[in-house]
Structure 1
Amino acid sequence: MLYGQDTTVNIKLQKAITSLIDQYSQAREKRDTALLKTILTQDVDQLVSTGEWRIGLNAAVEGMMKSSAASPGVRTLHIEKIRSISPSAAIVDCRYEIQNADGTARKMWSTFMVIAEKKTWKIMAIRNMLPAPNN
């Protein structure tokens, strides 16, 4: 007999992962490289909406800082769904908005793969996507 994987997220896990995504958002907003380096794994990878890959901690942090400088604005992540893959791994889907100084907003999706590394939740992968028109 086969059993499906339990993908439910308990309150403790939800709070820990929500805190991690909030820390990421704050680090991006404040351009806090020290915080980013504590919440991203060494082998983090990021695919941004332009199609650029950032592989490894240094490339990811450097790219994030350049992106924040080139596209200033208030960045907001709204968690839509957390799916547990195992007790130490989860997928987090977020709506990602950058509120530009001119009042316009850039609306995207971000998916985070997060893992518990030595009992501390960290981001190991980020995928940013532009939604199809009218979404």
Structure 2
Amino acid sequence: MVLASKSDISDRHKVYKYKTEKRGKNRKRIDLEISYPRINDESVYEKYKDREPILKSVNISESGICFKSRMLLRSGDFVSFLLNIERKPSFWCLSVVRWTGCNDNSYVIGCEFVSLTLQQIKTIRNFVDED
């Protein structure tokens, strides 16, 4: 993927779009360890007993989130997790895997949010739209 923006993508708070962008929503880099992830209603940390994070967020938009994952997920898998954006109260998210890829020693997973309240969508939208 090639970035359409000439801005420095190392700045994790920049909003950017890819040239091959399919979605109409902007996304923003977000670097979070995902809390209490469950894949297809099974706890990830019960399977992987080490202390390393299994899922870390890469970027987010109001319609979905991208993760780096140490485990392979398949298109159609459901991922639920606790999301905490800045100093806002955390909330549970349910998402479905739409695409997967490989990057270095991990997988890159693109998920679409399935059931967010209007308040949760607004929280994400405000985070993405702020400078």
TM over 0.5, shorter chain: no
TM-score, reference length from structure 2: 0.33
Structure number with higher helix proportion: 1
Q: Report 1 or 2 for greater relative contact order, CA contacts < 8 Å, sequence distance ≥ 6.
A: 1
TM-score, reference length from structure 1: 0.32
Larger Rg: 1
